[in-house]
Amino acid sequence: MKIRFGISGLGFAGAVLMAPVMRQHPDAEIVAACDPNGDVRTRFGEAYDIPVFSSLQEMMDGARLDAVYVASPHQFHCEQVLQASARGLHIIVEKPLTLSEEEADRMIAATENAGVHLVVGTSRSHDPVIRTMRGIIDSGEVGRVSMVNCFNYTDFLYRPRRPEELDTALGGGIVYNQLPHQIDSIKAITGQRIVAVRAMTDKLDPKRPTEGNCAAMLTLESGACAIVVYSGYDHFDSDEMHYWLAEGGRDKKPNHGGARKVLRELEGSEADLRRTRYGFGGPISKSMESGNADRKQPHFGVMLVTCEHADLRASEDGVYVYGNDGMREVPALVGRGAYSQGDTIDELHNAITGKAPAMRDARWGKDTVEVCLAILESSRTGMQIDRRSA
């Protein structure tokens, strides 16, 4: 069975990252797309040879779909998930699910009442190396998890941005857009709920006034703890500690301060640069078309998982197991399509066909949003936020 997808939103997530993977996935096809922007919509429709529409409702009226990929801006996620559920369509919704617990509850109710499957993604928790780590832990050979240490130092805040991406109230900043990769990876690796949150977030550049760095300590159900460190200030680059591979798995050259330099020397507008670089048909778009060719495994900074009998860490193409007798490498458990986006499609397909329930469903997405909100609250108050009773 091939899932017949309509893509809602032809920005970076929808048209650049997901579409080329979805087109090549053995269990999916793209049968329609919609976006309010006429230019990108037309170009995408021609490139993919599919009908395109200006709104989700028109797309659902005009095309026969099994599922919708909601890749619109954050603030439309809830409305569009409700609309797709009402039509009985399955859903992949780009992370974060939403920024509000109340909206999350409506999305949970809508999908569960309609009996449709929803997967939140793609987050880096869909990476094959994360699933591989979970498999090693589930096998029992490394004993219980004691401590997870995640850190990532990037240029996130200096990639060209739309103004709302620099406004936390509108869903901007690293807490909503980068930490969910680490939070979801911790949840996926350990299979545990986060029951307490202590965090500090900071804003270090008044010209880009949203959270750009964070240190957090998350307590898991078992009493194990996870550390999350993130900085998006284009200073140190932690990919130096990951074999100089970029997040997507391709080779990377050291370029400290490079993203700041581009913005400093920019003559046009930042929003234009964003469109050129991250838009459909741009350089990243073209690079994604090649699938997994020349790609090592994707990753999100460094994650070190300390278990009773071994530490786990992503290698270039799998997972290093540092055990009592030395180190060995386990190859990554790859999915049916190209890395990560393909794994997200696998998850929905497995749910629809009854092979395995979706791990990252709407309740999962709500939980992740709550952890993000707890991070912001803990940073404001300086206190640990208890989620045991939640």
Residue with smaller CB distance to a second copy, 252 or 260: 260
- Does residue number 323 form part of the binding site for a second copy (CB under 8 A)? yes
Paired residues of 220 in beta bridges: 194
- Does residue number 262 form part of the binding site for a second copy (CB under 8 A)? no
Residue with smaller CB distance to a second copy, 76 or 322: 322
- Does residue number 313 form part of the binding site for a second copy (CB under 8 A)? yes
Query: Residue type at 226?
Result: A
Distance (Å, whole) CA 360 – CA 242: 26
Residue with smaller CB distance to a second copy, 26 or 143: 143
Least distance in Å: CB of 199 to a second copy?
8
- Does residue number 219 form part of the binding site for a second copy (CB under 8 A)? yes
Stretch that binds a second copy, among 15-23, 208-216, 293-301, 352-360 (CB under 8 A): 208-216
CA 30 distance to own-chain centroid: 21
The set of residues, in sequence order, having a beta carbon less than 8 Å from that of 58 and lying 6+ positions away, is 34
- Classified as helix, coil or strand, 341 is helix
Distance (Å, whole) CA 313 – CA 302: 8
Render the burial of 316-342: b for 16+ CB within 10 Å, e for the rest.
ebbbbbbeeeeeeebebbbbebbbbbb
Among 28, 183, 216, 359, the residue binding a second copy under the rule CB under 8 A is 216
Q: Counting runs of H as helices and runs of E as strands, what totals does the chain give? A: 13, 15
Among 82, 170, 227, 333, the residue binding a second copy under the rule CB under 8 A is 227
Among 62, 257, 281, 282, the residue binding a second copy under the rule CB under 8 A is 257
Look at residues 228, 229, 230, 220 and name the one whose alpha carbon lies nearest to residue 146: 220
What does DSSP assign to residue 15?
I
- Does residue number 213 form part of the binding site for a second copy (CB under 8 A)? yes
Among 147, 246, 333, 352, the residue binding a second copy under the rule CB under 8 A is 147
Summarize as ranges the residues that interact with a second copy (CB under 8 A).
143, 146-147, 149, 151, 153, 196, 198, 200, 202, 204-205, 213-217, 219, 223-227, 229, 231, 233-237, 241, 254, 256-258, 260-261, 304, 306, 308-311, 313, 320, 322-327, 382-384
